Amino acid sequence: RFCPVLRFKYAAEMSSFVDSARVSPFLTALRSGEVQNTGAIGDRLRQLQWRQAFTGRDHFDFCLRSVDTEISVAQVADGETSGLGTGANVWPAAQVLMAYMEQFQGDELPDAISELLDGEERRFAVPKLAGKRVVDVGAGTGILGIAAACLGANAVVCDQGQLLEFLAQNVERNSAAVASRGGSVRVQQHDWGVNEAALDPPVEIIFVSDCVLPKLYPIEPLVEAIDGLLGEDGLVFLSYERRYFQHFDPKKRFAELCAAKGVAVETVPFRFHAAAYRAEDIEIWVGRREADAAGGGADSLAAKQGTCYDLRVLQWGDEKGRSSGTGAASPTYGGPVVVDGAPGRLEFQQSIGIGATAWIGSIVLSRYALELASSGVITSKTRILELGSGIGILAAVLSRTPIEARVTATDKPSTLDLLRENLHNNAIRTADVDASEEDGSLGSDVVQVKALDWSDAPEVEVAPLEEAE
């Protein structure tokens, strides 16, 4: 009976669609932690559980288990109509970033986590906050800065003038908890890109939660603020909830603007998010100053290491306007498939037949491939062989990203004309290669196309791809 609830993100959106008498016990179960389902449905229910726990309430509570400390902030349900704005609530992206921040803190956690972060991926860790200068930019309720202070940081929570009294009340509300942990927190008015000097830069660590939202706030002043505050060895951690914006890709624009300031931004792999606070639509980014990132553009470190990587479905067959990326449950034979993101806008024509039809699995795999690229698993030295390329979605996505991997797309001979046509229509060059050979002299800007009907056990097998030098 509660299936319709799963289609909506917030309880407030459900009232006109679902009988409240049925929803109430469901929300009660979510808030009480009684949802124990396993598998994908269980994951969705648990996301609703923590996302909805304090929806519509006048406070938000969080336990920092690593230091056995409870924090609580006031929130205002009607902030947007009362003059406080959207910052008067604790949004899901703040919860994700706070849980991520905390998992690297505490006396017992570092040794356990160090094994997970051995090697290059240690760069994603939040440093021990004790004694660090931390600024919570666009603090809203102040919960991130207060949490950092409870972990021993000397924190500043800052926002626009209308939120200062609200922020001060929340700081006072948690003053005993902060003092008991040896941290400090103060409130400071701050307008992005205007008065960074009041925050006494350079800053060691900056936290920004759910502020990359161009529908409400321009991105450029936020980047100016980060550039004005971030020290040479500093780090900025941001959480970002993906939302459709019709004019440009907010993630890509933010990465490009940061790269132009010499700040390289990377997407934290999803597997490093705190297990209890994971949501597929919420990302965590970490930025740092890098000499190689100066100048921006496609050659910048930010562009090559994944901050720009994203993929949204704008049109699925004849159904227009899908920005959620869920697509359709079954193939749609009519009309083009249009996607957008880091690879730019790509359009694919369909035809009759299994291999000439768009399947949502190709979108899922393309997104996963982009995640591999953003985490450095796929690089410019990687040679990729795709079996059953179909209409060419994955091959086109990989070819158009800045990683410059070399892609070979294969399918039945009857499908290759449509595959080539879709690649050419998206300004991607192709080269036909015999099934038993591969032309190693071709550059990464050319997708090699091969006829391969693996369902028919061909006599001539594809030669193994040797490791690139």
Task: Tell me the C-alpha to C-alpha distance, in Å, between residue 68 and each of 126, 164, 431, 454.
Answer: 19, 28, 61, 57
Contact 468, 383 (CB under 8 A): yes
User: Tell me: domain 57-304, CATH 3.40.50.150, correct?
Assistant: yes
What gap in Å lies between CA 213 and CA 93, rounded to an integer?
Answer: 12
Contact 244, 259 (CB under 8 A): no
pLDDT at 337: 87
Query: How many other CB atoms sit within 10 Å of the CB of residue 3?
Result: 8
Q: For helices 393-400 and 360-374, give the axis angle rounded to 10 degrees.
A: 20
Query: Residue type at 61?
Result: D
Could you tell me whether strands 203-209 and 133-137 are parallel, antiparallel, or unpaired per DSSP bridges? Answer: parallel
- The DSSP annotation for 380-424 comes to TT-EEEESS-TTSHHHHHHHHSTT--EEEEEE-HHHHHHHHHHHH
Q: How far is CA 244 from the centre of its chain?
A: 13
Contact 402, 305 (CB under 8 A): no
Give mean pLDDT in consecutive 10-residue pieces for the chain, a chain of 469 residues: 36 41 52 52 63 80 91 83 78 94 70 53 83 95 96 95 94 96 95 90 95 91 95 95 86 92 91 86 92 40 43 69 39 70 81 84 84 74 88 88 80 91 90 60 75 69 51
pLDDT at 8: 37
DSSP 216: T
Query: How many other CB atoms sit within 10 Å of the CB of residue 386?
Result: 21
- The DSSP annotation for 315-350 comes to EETTEE---SS---SS---SS-EEEEETT--EEE--
Stated length of the chain: 469
pLDDT at 232: 92
pLDDT at 92: 92
Q: Where are the strands (E) in 109-153, listed by range?
A: 133-137
What gap in Å lies between CA 415 and CA 397, rounded to an integer?
Answer: 18
Question: 369 burial class (0-12, 13-18, 19+ CB within 10 angstroms)?
Answer: buried
End-to-end C-alpha distance for the chain, whole angstroms: 57
What is the CATH code for 311-456?
A: 3.40.50.150
What gap in Å lies between CA 135 and CA 311, rounded to an integer?
Answer: 31
Bridge partner list, 340? 312
Bridge partner list, 72? 61
pLDDT at 280: 82
Domain residue spans of the chain = 1-53, 57-304, 311-456
Write out the H or E segment, with its range, that includes residue 157.
Answer: strand 154-159
Is 57-304's fold the same as 311-456's? yes
